[in-house]
Amino acid sequence: MKYDLGLGLFQHLSIMGILKVRITNNDTQALVVESVKKSFGCVDVLKGIDLSMLAGERVALMGPSGSGKSTLLNCICGIEVVDEGEIKIGGQCLGQLSPGALDQVRRDHIGYVFQSFHLLPTLTAFENVEFSAQLVGMGKRERIKRVTDLLKMVGLGNRLDHLPDALSGGERQRVAIARALVHHPKLVLADEPTGSLDSETGGEVLDLLKELSNDFQVALLLVTHDLASTRICDRVITMKDGRLITD
């Protein structure tokens, strides 16, 4: 029997990419989830989920463990296939895409920020961000400029050549945020991004996510157990027993 699974490092490496068009229209729907249901064996995990997000909108998703949050994230990024309903990212219905086209949507349109950072330990901060660009063949000159600019934006311009072990937890998460945004995604999925940080550092990371979401007009779905973290969000929704009970 299968239950909620979080997004792991190897899943992350397979789905990162470079988005070639930046969203500038606030009326653009970044994400649409319509009547989504998902079961594992005899366990109904998602029981008719409806959710939509505009470009640049920040939504907090709360709920107890086992409520279906991780399964919903996995369905949104195409790791899990829904049983009923549909999910659209940038207007493309995931259920109607070929495997190759689905991989491209995941690479091009979604960024990921994890609680445990999932940085490659043998790569520097620069190389960790650059790797996502290399996966889809971004040219060297463009890649170097983009990665350098992003790391400066997150306050790590003097840490480009540092390995993860030489960085603090907050600095590692800043690298992860730069990695998530290197391709100008339509949507960033942030799964407990402050869960491994102290309150002061976590607050700084949240402020950075808000700032960059505004700057790049990228939608942010923030999964959190911490009510204080929702201060950066436009809406707060709650999951319980596979249903959204507030919106």
What are the pLDDT digits (tens) for 120-160? 999 999 999 999 888 767 789 999 999 999 999 999 999 99
Number of domains within the chain: 1
Is residue 1 in some structural domain? no
Is residue 65 in some structural domain? yes
Is residue 203 in some structural domain? yes
Nearest to 158 by CA among 204, 2, 69, 167: 167
CA distance 153 to 178: 8
Both tokens of 143, joined, read: 């890649």
Burial of 222 (C-beta count, 10 Å sphere; 0-12/13-18/19+) = buried
Residue type, 32: V
- E-strand stretches of 65-166: 84-89, 92-93, 110-114
Is residue 71 in some structural domain? yes
Q: Which residue has the tokens 């994400």?
A: 31
Domain with residue 119: its CATH number is 3.40.50.300
Is residue 31 in some structural domain? yes
Is residue 4 in some structural domain? no
For residue 161, the enclosing domain spans 9-246
Q: What pLDDT digit, counting tens, does each position of 26-85 carry?
A: 458 999 999 999 999 999 999 999 999 999 999 999 999 999 999 999 999 999 999 999
Is residue 242 in some structural domain? yes
Is residue 2 in some structural domain? no
Q: What pLDDT digit, counting tens, does each position of 220-240 carry?
A: 999 999 999 999 999 999 999
Both tokens of 202, joined, read: 């976590």
Both tokens of 1, joined, read: 């029997």
Q: Read off the pTM.
A: 0.86
